[in-house]
Amino acid sequence: MGQPVASKGRGATPTVGKAMLNKYARAFFTRVLTPFAAFLIRRGVSPDTVTLIGTAGVVAGALVFYPMGEFFWGTVVITLFVFSDLVDGNMARQLGRSSRWGAFLDSTLDRVADGAIFGGLALWYAGSGDDNVLCAVSIFCLASGQVVSYTKARGEAIGLPVAVNGLVERAERLVISLVAAGFAGLHKFGVPGIQYLLPIALWIVAVGSLVTLVQRVVTVRREAAEADAAAQESQGTEAAK
């Protein structure tokens, strides 16, 4: 779920904090996972296969464990398979196979994995969790995450840079939700009160996603107006010649 491609733009330069975290975290995991990626290559496994298996593992972990309220073990399974996002990209770099197809598959299956995680939480709250409000919040997190991603993709598709760093982007949504779910699962091991972390996290993700969506829509509106104004000015200049 992370095959690199030169044309796969990421929009604006990230903030210093995000850049530093991304730089050092990725450098560490690259060193750790490179031997494993090389082993898979020697065994004839393709990066696309790792992407598909990783997504299937995340979906299974989310839709099997979360609806049963097994947040700790579900998060453990999901986290293990989430690392495929780094493994397949590492393999693609070693093979020199950066491609538009890899980028497309990566982005598409990321949306599937995200939907499964928040869908699994929604199923829990709709069932044994017995909380319609948190079920609705989980569904909102699922939907808003998809729309946030779409706004950037659509903006870039019409030629705009969408140069904005959202408050809560995909990485933040996953980290906040998975960490909270994992700790909330410790309630079954006798840790008192920790189950309230997950509802708090879901509200944070929901509000943050809404803010991020507004940020991106406002940015696209501004960039579109600037692009249209520049185009009209260029047409006026050409007509005056």
Detail the residues annotated as belonging to a binding site for a CDP-1,2-diacyl-sn-glycerol.
Answer: 48-51, 89, 93, 99
- Residue 47 makes CB contacts below 8 A (sequence gap 6+) with 3, 88, 89, 91, 92, 95, 97, 102
Please state the residue numbers annotated as binding site: 48-51, 85, 88-89, 93, 99, 106, 110
Look at phi and psi of residue 162 and say left if phi exceeds 0, alpha if psi is from -120 to 50, else beta.
left
In 3-state terms, what secondary structure has residue 46?
A: coil
Separation between Cα atoms, residue 157 and residue 45, nearest integer Å: 32
Please state the residue numbers annotated as binding site for Mg(2+): 85, 88, 106, 110
**Which runs of consecutive H residues, i.e. helices, occur in 6-157?**
16-42, 47-60, 71-82, 84-95, 100-126, 132-157
Separation between Cα atoms, residue 32 and residue 26, nearest integer Å: 10
Look at residues 81, 104, 84 and name the one whose alpha carbon lies nearest to residue 4: 104
Separation between Cα atoms, residue 59 and residue 193, nearest integer Å: 28
In this structure, the chain runs to a length of 241
Q: Which of 110, 114, 130, 131 is catalytic?
A: 110
130 is catalytic: no
Separation between Cα atoms, residue 103 and residue 112, nearest integer Å: 15
Q: Which residue has the tokens 């989430």?
A: 82
Residues annotated as part of the active site: 110
